[in-house]
Amino acid sequence: MKRAFFLKAQTQMKFNVLMIVFLLGFAIVSAQTQPVKQSTKEKAPSQTNVVVKQSTPSTSAEKAPANQSKDAAPQVTPQKQPTKTTTPTTKPKVVTPVNPNKASDVAPKNVPTTTTKDITGYWLTANKGTIVQFYKEGDRFHGKAVWHRQATDRSGKPLKDVNNPDKSKRNNPLIGSLLVTNLKYNPKTNTYEGGKVYQPNTGRTFDCKVKLTKESNSMEITGTAGMSMISKTLVWSRTTGVPGKK
């Protein structure tokens, strides 16, 4: 009986010791785990903030092109660049259209860009009413009318050589008619001699000779009326060509 009571008491004591050990172990474990939970709660906001700051710019930059449609262009704010204002140095030239069927009333400039040594080229008569083009055939020089200030009559038709003593030529237009013929250069006198000059307004023809000035930009053309030795010298100026033609 005593032995049984002693065993029961010993068992109860062991049980109490185990309970005390269990309670102490539980208390120790609780004491160790509680700081860990608090530190986790304290660090959680900082970790969340870090994730938000890093992920927000990269997500918007990487996903923006994918979410946009193919037709929509990304909105980019251009940088303002300084604008330069340039003032034109020269005004644009005003070009007046020229009617090719009607001769211009304005004679070209008398100073050419280049000058030939002989009389070939374009020459403006003394009254600035006609341009004569000289050309060479063999050793002879001839000049034909290529421009008249008044090239048409009142009805707008081209003027004709109505005063020509040869009736078969009176229907010929003045433009293209020969005014100077058969001039030949004489190197001894530096003069073009032995020619004829035709005057359309009178229909008369005179002997003529031509001499260039020192600069070759003007010529002295002298007409002589047969045996009477009545002569007249006029100065024609070299020009660039026919008005309205290039």
Distances (CA, A) of 62 to 28, 67, 68: 50, 10, 11
Please return the burial class of 212, using the count of CB atoms within 10 Å of its CB with bins 0-12, 13-18 and 19+: buried
Which among 47-61, 126-140, 231-245 has the top mean pLDDT?
A: 126-140
Of residues 213 and 97, more confidently modeled:
213
**Three-state DSSP class for residue 176:** coil
Distances (CA, A) of 193 to 67, 117, 120: 95, 16, 15
The pLDDT score that the predictor gives to residue 31 is 61
The pLDDT score that the predictor gives to residue 195 is 97
Of residues 204 and 25, more confidently modeled:
204
Q: For the structural domain made of 121-239, what CATH number should be given?
A: 2.40.128.520
pTM above 0.85, yes or no: no
Distances (CA, A) of 126 to 132, 225, 229: 11, 19, 22
The amino acid at 126: A
Q: Which residues of 2-14 are buried (b: 16+ CB within 10 A; e: fewer)?
A: eeeeeeeeeeeee
Phi-psi domain of 229 (left: phi exceeds 0; alpha: psi -120 through 50; beta: other): left
Give the E-state strand segments of 112-177 in sequence order. 121-124, 130-137, 140-148
CB distance 128 to 139 below 8 Å: no
For residue range 65-117, list pLDDT tens digits in order: 444 444 444 454 555 555 555 555 555 555 444 444 444 566 666 555 455 68
C-alpha 44: how far from chain center = 69
Boundaries of every domain in the chain: 1-51, 121-239
